[in-house]
Structure 1
Amino acid sequence: MASTSRRSSKLVVLHIGDPVKWNTDFYAKFSEDFTVVRPSSEERQREEFMKGLREKRWGDFDAIFRPFWNTGGEMGRWDKELIPLIPSSCKIFASAGAGFDWADVDLFAERGIVYCNSAAASSESVADFAIFLILAAFRNLNWCTSAARTAADFKDCHTNAAVLSHNPRGHTLGIIGLGNIGFTIAKKAYLAFGMKIKYYDVVRKSRSQEADIEAEFFSNLDDMLAISDCVVLATPAAPDGRKLINRSTLGKMKWGSRFVNIARGSLVDEEAVADAVDQGRLIGVGLDVHEFEPRVNERLKKMRAVTLTSHNAGGTLDTHIGFELLSMKNIDAVLKGREPLTPVNKHLLSKVAKPKL
């Protein structure tokens, strides 16, 4: 890849990953407004990528664009080894996906770079899947669907599942993280099942948003866990990198409660979850994400009350199209002097450095 100079009056976007697939009309205009350079797959391997940054192979680019969650990440974690190599001209990193555990957004902020994710594009898909897992946890859907394959298991489930199953209506749903995805889950659960919404977050929603779903805010996580019939983990990361669901927090949950994770597997101690199921503290569990993906906890695999899926919650074509478009729109906004649409670390950036907008 030839070096990009600043002789062009256009700002430069470093495009990491596959070519744009769906929003081709927007990308055509995007490519007219900015100079887009795309390292090859070989150049995106960590050592070669770092070498390219040191050599300024792609010039003093102004933005980093990653339109897909499953490509463009070949260089691995963006950390204290990699981020300092980014040219000082860079103003924004916009990426597909909701999670950002692979990127040190605090360090990006120290460098004056706003990091934008695309969680808003996946809110509907992830929330729909969360509703399925909530229903599975209340109605023993793992048991019910697997038992239909043999006559003996069918009869056992048909006879015995009812007394262990409950309607979600009227039960308390505790949500950890009421961002775009968490709020969408809450709204669906409130409107469809009439569930009572409680939530814990580092930032409280507006009173009008709370009123829309009759939500009650908790500033103390343990207090919310203690009254929840089902807890949904919907936060992209723990502020201090710790596991949010561990033996201590599980010990604060009600006996006979349920747990659903559509956030990040790294936030959960799965052995502690398995113990909680064995003890009867948890009577229903739904996990779409796993601690050591793609490997799934062997104990949890064997548990009838546990529904396991393969990190599918955001996996719809609609989400992929939205990821791609929202990433471009964030860059388009920032490089044209407007506010980013979905910033993750803007509050940190404003504390440590003035935005280079």
Structure 2
Amino acid sequence: MLRLLITRPIAEPVLAQARRLFDVTLHTGGKLSEAECAAALAEYDCILPTLGDQFTARAFAGDLRCRMIGNFGVGYNHIDTDAAARAGVIVSNTPDVLTDATADIAMTLLLATARRAGEGERMVRSGRWGGFDVKGLLGTHVTGKTLGIVGMGRIGQAIAARGYHGFNMKVVFHNRSPKVTRVPALQLESLHHVMAEADFVVVATPGGTATTKLIDAAAIAAMKPSGIFVNISRGEVVDETALIDALEQGRIAGAGLDVYENEPHVPERLRALENCVLLPHLGSATQETRQAMAQMALDNIIAFSEGRDPPQRVT
């Protein structure tokens, strides 16, 4: 029986299935360090990890027993896939199943930031609300505005559909390659054009070296002073310091964030801002989605164990 390490607690039905098929070790001590990842690669036949586990190039440098990593999550920038391929380790991910849940969180952040819902809830909870005020907490209208999307993959397309059909928004976008969209949308010639044109910018790119600090100080500076920025991709895609500077100085109206550069650390300067809605990486956090993600990750590992090519293989 193959030895399988699962690095976080997953949905009980999926965990029970895994235990029937494999010799399972469930790690409950939080994200794995580089040294712990190296040890796991040497000790287990298969690993089911997730965001935060540090499968770096050095982790793959030793004498490895592991031949399959079934990642829990569509993003796998915490795994050095080039090093995995050189070491003969297959890597898979979990696309599609979290698209709608993540797109919903993007719209949650967009609406909450535009309508100053975070500020309003804090006001009510603190007892500071004095009743209806004609000029109190005036926000930004959403319907009919321009939605800019950075990264028009599955999640970007789902966000575009919500903006177009649900809020009658004009959609513009930036993508590294030409993209045909399911709803009317205009692909602009550069990232900065999208940042300048949009009333709301939503970042939905993959993580990794190709997109690290893609949203830098210059990109943020291109936004309208009334613009609202939303990130549901990966924290490292954004120059966090530059974003905080722009929010503090009022150079953009607000931001809604579900991801951060050094999770779970969120800078005090960011937490102090009233014009920012902050969520604890809830993109895929529905019971249905998380179970589907776990099932897909396990299904890939099962396929490998049966000598089949994992359906969601990325290396």
Normalising by structure 2, what TM-score? 0.83
Q: Which residue of the partner structure matches residue 206 of structure 2?
A: 236
Residue type of the partner of 1:23?
V
Q: Choose 1 or 2 for highest CA Rg.
A: 1
2:280 to 299, 310, 320: 310
RMSD of aligned alpha carbons: 3.3
Q: Give how far 1:79 is off.
A: 1.5
Q: Which residue of the partner structure matches residue 218 of structure 2?
A: 248
| 1:16 aligned onto 2:9 | no
Q: Give how far 1:42 is off.
A: 10
User: 1: distance between equivalents of 2:193 and 2:184?
Assistant: 18
User: 1: distance between equivalents of 2:260 and 2:38?
Assistant: 30
2:58 to 78, 81, 87: 81
Matched-pair identity in %: 28
Q: Give how far 1:48 is off.
A: 6.3
Contact 2:35 2:59 in 1 (8 A): no
Q: Which residue of the partner structure matches residue 323 of structure 1?
A: 293
Contact 2:94 2:296 in 1 (8 A): yes
> 1:55-70 alignment to 2 at 5 Å?
57-58=43-44, 61=45, 64-66=46-48, 69=50
Structure 1 residue matching 2:96: 3-state secondary structure: helix
Residue type of the partner of 1:22?
P
Q: Give how far 1:40 is off.
A: 6.8
Normalising by structure 1, what TM-score? 0.74
Query: Which structure 1 segments of 5+ residues have no match?
Result: 5-11, 347-357
2:110 to 120, 134, 147: 134
Contact 1:116 1:327 in 2 (8 A): yes
Contact 1:144 1:157 in 2 (8 A): no
User: 1: distance between equivalents of 2:244 and 2:10?
Assistant: 42
Deviations 1:288-338 (A, max 9, x none): 122233332222323222111222222221122011111122234455566
Residue type of the partner of 1:247?
A
Contact 1:116 1:330 in 2 (8 A): yes
2:137 to 158, 161, 166: 161
User: 2: distance between equivalents of 1:218 and 1:109?
Assistant: 35
Between 1 and 2, higher relative CO (CA 8 Å, sep ≥ 6) is seen in 1
After TM superposition, the structure 1 stretch with the greater mean CA deviation from structure 2, 108-117 or 188-197, is 108-117
Residue type of the partner of 1:229?
D
Q: Give how far 1:126 is off.
A: 1.6
Question: Residues 339 and 265 (structure 1 numbering): CA distance in 2 closer, same or farther, change over 3 Å?
Answer: same
Q: Which residue of the partner structure matches residue 231 of structure 2?
A: 261
Q: Give how far 1:49 is off.
A: 5.9
Query: Which structure 2 segments of 5+ residues have no match?
Result: none
